[in-house]
Structure formats: structure tokens, C-alpha cells
Amino acid sequence: MVNILVTGATQGIGKAIAEELSDVGTIFATGRNVELLREYKNYCVCDLATDVETLESYIQSKKIDILINNAGEYIYGSIDKMTDEQIREIFEVNLLAPVKLIAKASVNMKKNKWGRIINIGSISGIMGEANASLYSSTKSGLVGLTRALALELAEYNITVNTVNPGWVDTEMGMTSVELSEFFKDEILETIPQRRFVQPIEIAKLVKYLVSDDAKGITGQSINLCAGLSVGI
């Protein structure tokens, strides 16, 4: 059995991924809410914005084979209203933490000549999103990171891919709807399939990408967005 670490595993997409991969290997969950994490047998309480070192050490000790960088933060507002603290925090959580965790996890993967790294990006990192420039730029950064690392790690039989969800029916997704300037029905009108993506859809795609059937897929940025990325 392989060891799988899922960041942000207490709710939404992360929880769905952890549940879906429970028959693939041993799940190691991480998040900030200790009460919610206790439903997992193996967990590490960590705030990626301030204490990523704790999780780096945890990854090394558990010899992670599959890393799912799912945890993320969303900030809505014009660029001139963003504080230095907001800028620092969203880049720490959405981009710098994945870089640091991959650096630690890849040591064991390279040693074993096998590994899977999945970054959960966003369609906002592909298309851009007005008044969410910090979020969009961090998620776009994951795409570049994925492409470069896929080349760097290919010889070790390690694949690296990014999944870019569109509007997802999660607590974070609905919060971002509330923060936006549009009503839910107006947002649905911009989505070709006229629906929000369900977390299980993302989880099932991740399950395929970590399987041996997908060993030839690496360096890819896959949009799972109900058609949002191709227009109305």
C-alpha cells in the first residue's frame, strides 16, 4: 500500500479526494481544524500560512508516495485594496507551500523510482478572474510548476499534474459566489453546462491520475469546469 497525503482534507474537494483514495493507500490528512481531522486515523494539524515546516517534517517521516496539494485560500477584492499580509498569506498557502511539500516528498519518491503529485489549481489560474488577481496568479503558478517538475522528475517514474476546477459546489465555492459581484443564477448562466462541479468529480479524476493506467499523463493542466474554460 502507498502512503497518500492530502492537504486541506477536512472539507470540500480535499475530503472527497481523501475518501475516494482510501482504497488506494493509507491516507494522511492535514488541515487547521483538529476536531475535523480526528475523523482520520493519521493526521497532522498545520497552518500552511505560518507553520509549513511542521508538515514538511511529517512528510519526511511518513515517506509519502502520493502528494495531493489541495489546500487553498481565496481572496476577493481589487488589487489596490490588498494588504501585505493578505498577499503574503495567499502566496504562502496556494503556491509556496506546494513547492516546499513537493521538495520534501520527492526525496522518497525519487528513491523509490515512483510517485504521484497532483496540484489542485483553478480555472481562475487559466482564464484569470477580475478582483481575484492574487488567487489567479497563485493558481497559474501551479501550472508552470507542474510543467517544469514533470520534466525534472520524469526519469524517476514520478508524474506531476494539475487539475483546474471551475465553480465547485463546496463551502469555499459558495463563499466565493457570495463575495463576487454576481448572483448565483448569473454565475450559472456563464457555465455552459449550467451547473456547479461536484467534489466527487474531481476526486475521481485524481484517482485516475494517480493510477498506473495514467502513468503516461504528466505535466498536464486539466480543466474540470463544466465547459467554463471554452466559453458560453
Helix (H, G, I), strand (E, B) or coil at 4: strand
Residue 46 lies in a domain: yes
Residue carrying C-alpha cell 481544524 = 33
Is residue 208 annotated as a catalytic residue, yes or no?
no
Residue 189 lies in a domain: yes
Mean pLDDT of 216-223: 98
Residue 63 lies in a domain: yes
Distance CA 64, CA 41 (A): 16
Q: How many domains does the chain have?
A: 1
Displacement of CA 226 from its chain's centroid (Å): 18
Residue 27 lies in a domain: yes
Residue 211 lies in a domain: yes
Task: Out of 179-183, 186-190, 196-200, pick the least confident.
Answer: 179-183
Choosing from 43, 135, 156, 208, the catalytic residue is 135
* 201 has pLDDT over 90: yes
Give a three-class secondary structure readout of 95-153: HHHHHHHHHHHHHHHHHHCCEEEEEECCCHHHHCCCCCHHHHHHHHHHHHHHHHHHHHH
The pLDDT, as a whole number, for residue 175 is 66
The pLDDT, as a whole number, for residue 178 is 65
Residue 231 lies in a domain: no
Give the torsion sign (CA, 20, 22, 25, 30): positive
Task: Out of 53-57, 70-74, 131-135, 228-232, pick the least confident.
Answer: 228-232
Mean pLDDT of 22-27: 98
C-beta separation of 109 from 60 below 8 A: no
Mean pLDDT of 196-220: 97
The pLDDT, as a whole number, for residue 187 is 80
For the purposes of burial, counting CB atoms within 10 Å of the CB of 1, is it exposed (0-12), middle (13-18) or buried (19 or more)? exposed
* Angle formed by the axes of helices 171-179 and 12-20, nearest 10°: 160
Per-residue confidence at 147, pLDDT binned at 50, 70, 90? Answer: very high
pLDDT digits (tens, 9 = 90+) for 109-134: 999 999 999 999 999 999 989 999 99
* 44, containing H or E segment: strand 43-45
Mean pLDDT of 189-197: 89
CATH number at residue 79: 3.40.50.720
Helix, strand and coil in the chain, % to nearest 5: 50, 15, 30
The pLDDT, as a whole number, for residue 169 is 87
Per-residue confidence at 191, pLDDT binned at 50, 70, 90? Answer: confident
CA Rg, the chain, in Å?
Answer: 17
* Residue 177 domain boundaries: 2-226
pLDDT digits (tens, 9 = 90+) for 1-14: 899 999 999 999 99
Residue 31 lies in a domain: yes
